[in-house]
Chains A and B, each alone.
Chain A
Amino acid sequence: MEQTDKILEVEDLTVVYNTDAGTVHAVNGVSFSINKKETIGLVGETGAGKTTTALSIMQLLPERTGRITAGSVKYRGEELLTKSKAEMRLIRGECISMIFQDPMTALNPLMTVGEQIYESLDIHNERKKSPKELEARVDELLELVGIPARRKTNYPHEFSGGMKQRIVIAIALACEPLLLIADEPTTALDVTIQAQVLNLIEELKEKLSTSMIMITHDLGVVAQTCDKVAVMYAGEIVEYGTLEEVFDRSRPHHPYTIGLFDAIPSLTEERKRLKPIEGLMPDPANLPEGCHFHPRCHQCLEKCRSGAVYRYEEGTHIIKCNRMEKGVQDGRVD
């Protein structure tokens, strides 16, 4: 991969939610970076902190409860966390935009889809284009995502799920942002429609040179779309590397990554029984000491139960696991 400028750098991001049940540690020291045109996948199960990470970058955390307590988020070298609300409003949509999981609820049911695309163009209309020019851009965007422009006067309920997601994508790409955050963009869609939407995203990324954060729980979607992968568990990135590094099974991996791969039934090989990861995701208000994964880990060591966790680093491949420390044991597991 050619060396290109960094679009986004997230450093040691820590987010808590203050709730009645106590302080929920949703994201605990997450760091990653994205270069131009690159796609990074954030993978993990419910409650891993994927969406919270995305909302923190956009600064869309629920105001009363969510709080970023440490870290930095830099967009092309510029710190976002110290920006005012008005400044952030200009960045959202224009520089960074987001595709949400559920296209059924992401659109306003009372506005035509044309109006909704127009709205985002109008807000970021720095060059003071005339309404007519903006209207023409709406048509162009709809055609771009494969919807006939004449349908811009339709309301969201008149479209199928796949088409609604195309409209959401059109809105997100309206101002040609440099970074697109896609939060489970195809989870609510059928497989054949999912394949169409993933192809569309890939095509548009290519055309507009957009970088992307792909949030998903589906390792198949990651394999198809991402350059880099961050596996998240209990608010932490437990494994980070290029797609090849994380998906190559002959390399050492975090036990959670191995567990995720083993838990999915395979389309190609025969397996009598699945190997589930025993136990449940820990309560984020009450995270276990030491390695957060240790209560579910088959290879838990005494030292995993408390204290800091060893950080293995080889090139771009990072694994947070005590097993990886030299002298403990080879991290390779079958």
Chain B
Amino acid sequence: MEELIRAVDLKKYFKLSKTEYLHAVDGVHFSIKKGQTLGVVGESGCGKSTLGRVLIGLIEATSGQIQYEGTDLLKLRPAQKKEYHKKMQIIFQDPYSSLNPRLSVFQLIAEPLISNKVYKTKGELVDRVGYLMEKVGLDQRFINAYPHEMDGGRRQRVGIARALALNPEFVVCDEPVSALDVSIQAQIINLLQDMQEEMGLSYMFITHDLSVVRHMSDEIMVMYLGQCVEKAPAYELFKNPMHPYTKALLAAIPQPVLGARGKKEIIRGEVSNPINPPKGCRFASRCQHCCDRCTQEDVMLKEVENAHEVACVLYK
């Protein structure tokens, strides 16, 4: 399968003061094939949302490369960049705050079409908006409704219609179902899968919910404090998690099955400070297998088994 996007040593540091930098994304490598989904999991503050935004150009990268079908987007002039950014869209987490409350559904979905001048007549625009609404399962009677008149699931459908308006090839889904109830969440997940199949989309699916990411992804990347600690095909990652953080994450999820009652083994402590982080493995302070080597040298991502990469000194 052909590769669509490749990120090489991608970094985003936010400058806080002359000497302090927040390492939001710190040297991440990955590639996404056409029609496939890369899941990105991690807890709040691990840099997964920043990564998604850097990728589609909403935040400027500090260094590294983003190759779109071989072209490095970070080296292009703004006008050239714009062409590529049409093909790359994003669906945001919170359908309550990501839609302009003063625009109707029609205006919201038409907005990307208008600003990119992709239609010739008014009739064409109306047709296209109608088509998109049908696609995402929004009844035509909502065409003049405002966001506050709709529930979360319908609002998220508007967000999806906006993202799909320009026929993108790549969509970053940034926690698209986290704000929704479970029964609605399943509707939206199915819709995203249908759209992927129909339009041949590639997704980067960002979430903190491991069961959702397992369901959606072909490959999964686990992030901790701006770095990728483990990357593997979805099936493999759940069958054979290697990094102590991945294991801890999996163990921490409460399972809706009998026999789960009672206390669990858990990792102690909280995510440490991403400002000027010390050398070595960033998970070391919470890790029960931590040894001297973990804090003395930076730990690189290595392929341990076929397509299964881990950044941990435990694995050679």
Interface residues of A (CB under 8 A from B): 45-46, 160, 162-163, 190-196, 198-199, 202-203, 217-226, 243-244, 247-248, 259-268, 271, 273-278, 280-281
Shortest Cβ gap from B240 to chain A (Å): 14
Residues of B within 8 A of A195 (CB): 251-252, 254, 264, 266
- Known contacts A265-B214, A274-B189, A280-B151: A219-B252 contact under CB 8 Å: no
User: Would A243 and B183 be within 8 Å (CB), given that A267-B253, A274-B215 are in contact?
Assistant: no
Question: Closest CB-CB distance, A42 to chain B, in whole Å?
Answer: 15
**Apart from the given pairs A224-B254, A264-B186, 10 other A-B contacts in the complex at a CB distance below 8 Å:** A162-B270, A198-B264, A221-B254, A223-B257, A226-B261, A243-B261, A261-B256, A264-B182, A276-B184, A277-B183
Is B153 on the interface with A (CB-CB < 8 A)? Answer: yes
Q: CA separation between A277 and B208, bound complex, in Å? A: 23
Contacts A/B (CB < 8 Å), 12 sampled: A192-B248, A198-B254, A203-B263, A220-B254, A220-B255, A223-B255, A224-B260, A263-B185, A267-B238, A268-B255, A281-B151, A281-B181
B residues near A (Cβ < 8 Å) are 43-44, 151, 153, 181-187, 189-190, 193, 208, 210-212, 214-215, 238, 248-258, 260-264, 266-268, 270
Question: Cβ of A280 and Cβ of B256 under 8 Å apart?
Answer: no
Q: Is the interface of A mostly helix, strand, loop or mixed?
A: helix
Which residues of A sit under 8 angstroms from B268, Cβ to Cβ? 196
Chain A residue at minimal CB-CB distance from B238: A267
The A-B contact count (CB < 8 A) is 126
From residue B232, how far is it (CB to closest CB) to chain A in Å? 15
Contact B249 A45 (CB under 8 A): no
| B253 to chain A: closest residue by CB | A191
Contacts of B185 in A (CB 8 A): 263, 276
Measured CB to CB, the closest approach of chain A to B40, in angstroms, equals 15
Closest Cβ–Cβ distance, residue A223 to chain B (whole Å): 4
- Interface pair A259/B183, CB less than 8 Å apart: yes
Q: A191-B249, A265-B214, A280-B151 are in contact. Are A248 and B181 (CB under 8 A)?
A: no
Which B-chain residue is minimally distant from A273 (CB atoms)?
B190
A256 to B256, CA, bound (A): 15
B183, B253, B263, most chain A CB atoms within 10 A: B183
Residue of B nearest to A260 (CB): B182
Whole-angstrom CA separation of A196 from B186 in the bound complex: 28
B263 to A264, Cβ gap below 8 A? no
Q: Is the CB of B252 within 8 A of A191?
A: yes
| Closest Cβ–Cβ distance, residue A116 to chain B (whole Å) | 21
Which residues of chain A have C-beta atoms less than 8 A from B182's C-beta? 45, 217, 260, 263-264
Q: Which residues of B contact A275 (CB under 8 A)?
A: 186
Decide: A265 near B211, CB < 8 A? Known: A259-B183, A276-B187, A280-B184.
yes
Evaluate contact between B256 and A217: CB separation under 8 angstroms.
no
Cβ of A192 and Cβ of B43 under 8 Å apart?
yes
Query: Cβ of B258 and Cβ of A248 under 8 Å apart?
Result: yes
A191 to B260, CA, bound (A): 15
**Most A Cβ at <10 Å: residue of B182, B187, B193, B268:** B182
Interface centre among B181, B248, B254 (most CB of A within 10 A): B254
